[in-house]
Chain A
C-alpha cells in the first residue's frame, strides 16, 4: 500500500480549487457599494447578527449521529475480518487457527450482543422522542 498518490490527489484537487479562485480574482472586476456589502435578506434590512441560538433538535441529531456512527465504525473491522468468500483462510478463521480466539461462533455471538446494544439504543432514542422533529 502506497499512500503517496492519495496525498498527491488531495494536493491537486485543493490546488485546482485555489487556482480557480485566483484566476477569478485576477480577471474579475472589483466594484463595491454600501448596499452591496449588506447581507442578502430578500430586500429587508437585516436586524441583527445571523449567528444566534438554534433549535435544540439539531444538537440531538448530532449526538445521536455520534453514538451510532462510532458504533458502526466498530462493525467495520468485524465485517472485514469475518466476511469474504472463505476460499483462503483469513480474518476470523486465521485467528481461530492461531488460537487467538476459541471459535468462530464466539466472535459471532460477541458481535450479535454488540449489535443488539445498537438496536436497543435506537429503540430507546425512538421512544424518548429524539427522532420526532417539530
Chain B
C-alpha cells in the first residue's frame, strides 16, 4: 500500500519486461533467419555456438555474436547530417516501441505474494507494468504514432535522397493505415466499453467468444493495418532494398542502425501481442482458464497461453514475409483508403447497431451467438464484394492525355 513498495514493484516489472523483450527480439531475429532459410530451402545460421568448445548448438550463439559485432562497430556520423536529429531519431523509435508495453498485460495476475502495492487489486500482483490505466489502448495508439516521428526525423536529418524518399513513403503509409487500425480497435472497444486492455481480455474470457469470432471483419482490418504499421512485407515499401537501398536508414550504421532495426522488430512483437490480446482472447482458453487465479499453476498457464498465441502470430508474420511480393505504392494507398477504411466503417456500423438495445432486442435478445453469426455473414459479404470490385487492379499510372490536359 505504501508508495515505495509500488515504486519498487514497478521497477522490477520494468526490468524483467525490458530484459525479456530484448532477449525475445534477439532470438526471434534468429528464428526469422531460420524460417527464411527453411522457406528458401537452404541452411540458415547454424554454426555459432559456445566459443572455444566447438559446440554449435544449432546456431543459438548467433544473436550474441551479432550483438557483440554491433557494439564494436564504428559510431559513424556523416558530415552532411543534422547531428541532433540524426541521433534522436533511433532513440525515439526504439523508446516508443518499448514504452508501448507499459500497458500491455502478460498474463492475468500472480497468486497472493504478501506484497501490497498501490497498483495491485485485492493484493494480487497484476502482470502489467502500469495497471488500472483506463486509457490503455489510446496510449498504445499514441506511441505507435510516435514511431512516425522516428522515421521522419531519421529520413530528414540524413540529408540523403533515398532516406528522404523512404521517410516520405513511410510516414504516408503509417498515417494512412492508422485509420483502419483505429477503426478495428473501435469495434472491440464498443464490445467491452473500456479502453483497458486487461478488461478487453476479461470480457472475451467471460463470454468465451473471442473477438476474432465475434468480429472477423475487424480482425482482418486490424491485422492488415498492423502489418502496414510494422512495415513488414508485403508493406515494406519504406525500406525496399531494390528501390530505396535502406529507405530512411540508408545513412545509418553501427549502434544507431541496430536501434532502428530492434525498434521495427519491437513493432512486430507489439502488433502480435496486441492481436492476441484484442482478438485472440489473450490468456483465455476454453477449459484451461476458468475462475480467478488461485495458485501458481493458474498464473503460469495463463502466461504460457498468452505467449504461445503471440508466438504463433509472430511466426505467421514471418511466414507472410516470405510468401507475398511487395505492393506497389498506389496499391498500398488504394488498399488503405478504398478497402480497409470502408471495411472498418462497415464493421463499426454493424457492431454499433447490433450492440444498441433498441435494435438488439429484435435480434435474439442480443445473444453473443446471433451477434457472431451476423458478423461472420457481414465479413463474408464484404469479402465477396471486395473480390468482385477488384480495387487494386486499377491502373493508376499517368496517362499521356492527362499529362497534356
Contacts and interface: CB of A to CB of B under 8 A. Distances in A.
A39 to B, nearest CB: 5
B178 A65 contact: yes
A85 B119 contact: no
Contacts of B161: 39, 41, 46, 50
Interface string A56-72: 01100110110011001
A1 B91 contact: no
Contact of B99 (A10, A68, A84, A108): A10
A100 interface: no
A104 B356 CA distance: 9
A4 B193 contact: no
A39 B155 CA distance: 12
B255 A8 contact: no
A17 B90 contact: yes
A85 B191 CA distance: 7
A123 to B, nearest CB: 10
A131 B334 contact: yes
B32 to A, nearest CB: 21
Given A17-B91, A50-B160, A126-B338, A38 B72 contact: no
Interface stretch (B128-136, B226-234, B269-277): B128-136
Contacts of B356: 82, 104, 108
Contacts of A105: 358
A27 B129 CA distance: 33
Interface in B141-161: 156, 158-161
B159 A39 contact: yes
A57 B70 CA distance: 38
A102 B281 CA distance: 36
A95 interface: no
A134 B397 contact: yes
Given A24-B75, A61-B176, A84-B192, A9 B99 contact: yes
A21 B75 contact: yes
Interface stretch (B10-18, B36-44, B208-216, B309-317): B10-18
A101 to B, nearest CB: 15
Nearest to A25: B75
Interface residues of B, number: 93
Task: Pick from B95, B338, B355 the residue with the most CB of A within 10 Å.
Answer: B95
Interface string A74-90: 01100111111110001
Given A28-B74, A40-B162, A108-B358, A3 B95 contact: no
Given A17-B91, A39-B160, A104-B358, A133 B396 contact: yes
Q: Is the interface of B mostly helix, strand, loop or mixed?
A: helix
Interface in B52-95: 70-76, 78-80, 87, 90-91, 94-95
Contacts of B183: 72
Given A40-B251, A72-B182, A133-B334, A16 B98 contact: yes
B118 interface: yes
A29 B14 CA distance: 33
Contacts of B294: none
A68 B341 contact: yes
B201 interface: no
A69 B254 contact: no
Contacts of A72: 179, 182-183, 186
20 contacts: A5-B119, A13-B94, A16-B18, A16-B22, A16-B94, A21-B75, A21-B87, A21-B90, A23-B71, A24-B75, A25-B75, A27-B72, A28-B254, A39-B159, A65-B176, A69-B179, A79-B186, A83-B190, A83-B192, A126-B338
Given A12-B14, A29-B74, A115-B349, 12 more contacts: A6-B130, A8-B10, A10-B102, A12-B15, A13-B96, A21-B90, A21-B255, A24-B70, A50-B161, A76-B189, A82-B193, A122-B342
The 3 closest A-B pairs by CB, nearest first: A84-B193, A24-B255, A13-B98
